[in-house]
Amino acid sequence: MRQLLPGGALFRPCFKQQTTYILGLTVDITMPTHGSLTKAGKVRGQTPKIKGRDRVSPIARVRNRNNFVKRFDKRRSPGQRKPERTGRR
């Protein structure tokens, strides 16, 4: 069944209706939507909530010692280019 909007435009349920005002005139513009808006958030709503694990940051003295060894003893430059990872891909 075809439904016509005022002005003779064809109504399509998969399109979102948007009203725009241009130079004092009312213009109806249909914007395409991806999928049905009635099903939005369906999967996230059905997914059971899992409590995140408690994260404990390392002791500051240990973290500072590890950073010192990494930066000065091993002379490693910052970033993900580590010597032990070269040529593994």
Check if the beta carbon of residue 3 is closer than 8 Å to that of residue 14.
no
Question: Taking a C-beta distance cutoff of 8 angstroms, is the pair 26, 19 a contact?
Answer: yes
State the pLDDT at residue 75: 86
- CA dihedral angle for residue 73, residue 74, residue 79, residue 80, rounded to 10 degrees: -150
Average pLDDT over residues 18-40: 69
Give this prediction's pTM.
0.34
Measure Cα distances from 42 to 32, 37, 51, 53, 60 in Å. Answer: 20, 10, 20, 25, 43
Q: What does pLDDT average to over the chain?
A: 76
Domain ranges of the chain: 1-33
Kindly report, residue by residue over 36-67, the tens digit of the pLDDT.
778 888 898 899 999 999 988 889 999 999 99
pLDDT at 48: 94
Whether 37 and 16 have beta carbons less than 8 Å apart is answered as yes
- The more confident residue out of 12 and 78 is 78
